[in-house]
Amino acid sequence: MGIKKSLFKCQCGCNEDIPYSPRHEYPSRKPRYKAGHAHRNKFFLNRDTIEMEYLAAGSGISLANSYGISSVAVYNMLKKMNIELLPKDILDNHNLSIGRSWELFCLQKLDGSEDFSGKDWRCSFDLRWNNFNIDIKVSNPVNVGKSKDRSAWSFNTKVKDEIDYFLCLGLNEKSELEKMFWIPSEDVKKQTTIRRNGNTKYEKYKTSFSELNNLRD
């Protein structure tokens, strides 16, 4: 009958086939790692030296490639160790979501701000600044109605627990910051829609990073 083809890939980051075994036919025996690979990433990444190695490599991807492991393992350990990413690595790291990249942008622009989302993804707000808990929201322009000239930004502001302010960033068609709004959490709906042009009740909340920094206590 020949040797059956492997049904599973090793999840340590090597992506190698796991040799077939009849016990794999049982759902409870589904394998996750190839023999000897379960702790491969942990073995290579030393908590005492990873920061020095990361700085020398210049990026998490370069460090991962030098060990032949997944870059995700490197970035996860850097996050757990609260090691700050290099500026160029932030821009080149395609694993970052759009939302997270704008969070990092706001952290650079708001003097004295502290990152909470990067420390714990379960946190209900993204950063703390001027004694306020702030959630960053980002939206590309979307068409409203039949006219292409009428567009708006739509922000999901449903979750308000522990949040003092929403910093809503409206982008243009090139994904560049066009307008930003500093809105108290009690003044938003579950879905906050702000018209791009024309009068809007949210116009009074329009601001800039320089204006916000001038408000610091």
Output the DSSP codes for 12-56. TTT-PBPPP-GGGGSGGG---S-TT-TTHHHHH--TTTHHHHHHH
- pLDDT given for residue 188 in this prediction: 92
- Closest by CA position to 41, among listed 82, 81, 75: 75
Instruction: Report the DSSP pairing between strands 165-171 and 191-195.
Output: unpaired
DSSP state of 5: P
Q: Tell me the percentage of the chain whose pLDDT exceeds 70.
A: 73
Q: Give per-residue pLDDT as tens, 185-217.
A: 999 989 999 998 877 889 999 999 999 999 886
Position 137 pLDDT exceeds 90: yes
pLDDT tens, position by position, 86-121: 765 655 554 556 778 888 889 989 999 998 887 766
* C-alpha span between 153 and 126 (Å, rounded): 20
Residue corresponding to tokens 């032949």: 68
Q: Are 105 and 119 in contact (CB under 8 A)?
A: no
Q: List residues bridging with 181 in a β-sheet.
A: 168, 206
How far is 155 from 44, CA to CA, in rounded Å?
A: 42
User: If you average pLDDT over residues 45-55, what whole number do you get?
Assistant: 85
Let me know if 215 is exposed, middle or buried by CB neighbors in 10 A (0-12, 13-18, 19+). exposed
CATH number of 96-217: 3.40.1350
pLDDT at position 82, please?
83
pLDDT at 164: 95
Strands 206-207 and 177-184: antiparallel
Question: Which pairing describes strands 151-156 and 127-129: parallel, antiparallel, or unpaired?
Answer: unpaired
Q: Could you report the per-residue pLDDT of 146-180, keeping only the tens digit for each? A: 665 678 999 999 988 889 999 999 998 888 899 99
C-alpha 160: how far from chain center? 19
Q: Average pLDDT in the 74-79 region?
A: 78
**Average model confidence (pLDDT) for the chain?**
80
CB hemisphere CA count around 136 (13 angstroms): 25
Q: pLDDT > 90: what percent of the chain?
A: 29
pLDDT at 1: 46
